[in-house]
Amino acid sequence: MRPRHVIHLAVKELRGLLHDPLLMVLVVYAFTLDIYTHATAMPETLNRATIGIVDEDASPLTRRMADAFLAPYFVPPAQIGLAEMDARMDAGIDTFSLVIPPDFQRDLLAGDRPELQLNVDATRVSQAFTGAGYIQAIVDQEITGWAARDAAAAAPPVDLAVRARFNPALDPGWFGALTAVISAVTMLSIILSGAALIREREHGTVEHLLVMPVTPAEIMTSKVLSMGAVVLVATGLSLNFMVQGVLEVPIAGSVTLFLVGVALHLFATTSLGILLATISGSMPQFAMLLLLVLLPLEILSGGMTPRESMPEAVQYAMLAAPNTHFIALSQSVLFRGAGLSVVWPQLLALALIGTAMFSIALRRFHGLLR
């Protein structure tokens, strides 16, 4: 391994990347607009949902219920008639339609159990799941408060004090921005390193490298270093300017420690990208193979859902994936402010997985050059 050869080859890889405008646009987009979108449009949060109310009772209670649907969760409710309810939902005007029957307040006072009807446009999945629960809670709260308006306020036997740690304001944008950065690191490192090798195979420059006094280890190391450096620099800039600057998302832990984890993770994922490129014969094949690899890495590594909710077999199998340890490290450092004494097992696991991945990819790459 001659460092001078590796540096020259790495500079060549960077020049090749700069002359590929599509990949450059992908890098810029992934660490800017994509992060902004994830931070400002989290689907788990109900925001400005449209609701129409068919109030056939027109009592003080039903007016109180209508006034309880407040921003930013709902837009001001539209008072509609029963005949126009279906047409408004068919046209996509209302996501929710709440039907209040006649004599609703009188039946409550009489001790009966009148029914309300809530129609939900389930095609708007991001709002339908959470919105129905919001509406039920609001209606229950208003009815309970109205029914107990004349009763003496009794102190509850237990006072539950809720304190949200690591995100006191419960702002989903904090989680969305940092999760987008973590996902972009994995995705781009695999794409850039794999595309670098396939680009040389399609242009025929691999044959030129064979007649040069360089070894397969030097060629592969240069690709890992150059593409990893691009993603590492983009990650640092994105954290400083986009996450902390534009979005004003606080980072609890050390950015330096996180970037060390990013570097070890890139060692594994860039090697994985080269491994996939040695299996693929062209860029379309590489793209199809990438889908089969990226989806399990993103879904089963704990970034979207907790690993504890998955079957034990999946949990153990995903310990061999670098994403599992990288996401655990990233969440500990960025969300909870953990230090080296907490995340050193993840750093060690990333180093071991990266070494194994690099060795396997180098063996495949060496066989490709023969």
Q: Where are the domains of the chain?
A: 3-41+168-369, 51-143
Q: Write the CA distances from 10 to 13, 36, 167, 218, integer angstroms.
A: 5, 31, 41, 9
Looking at residue 45, what is its pLDDT? 64
The H-assigned helical ranges of the chain are 3-18, 21-30, 33-40, 60-67, 82-90, 104-109, 125-147, 172-203, 205-210, 216-237, 255-279, 283-300, 312-317, 322-330, 340-369
CB 249 within 8 A of CB 173: yes
- Going from the first residue of the chain to its last (370 residues), give the mean pLDDT of each consecutive group of 10, the final group possibly shorter: 83 86 91 88 72 92 91 89 90 91 90 89 77 89 79 59 74 83 92 87 70 80 92 94 90 92 95 90 87 87 80 89 92 90 94 94 80
d(C-alpha 12, C-alpha 26), whole Å: 20
Looking at residue 43, what is its pLDDT? 53
Considering the domain 51-143 in this protein, what is its CATH number?
A: 3.40.1710.10
* Cα–chain center distance at 109: 48
Looking at residue 369, what is its pLDDT? 65
Looking at residue 355, what is its pLDDT? 95
Q: Which long-range contacts (CB under 8 A, 24 or more apart) does 67-73 make?
A: 68/138, 68/141, 68/142, 69/135, 69/138, 72/47, 72/48, 73/46, 73/47, 73/48, 73/49, 73/134
Cross-strand partners of 96: 51, 120
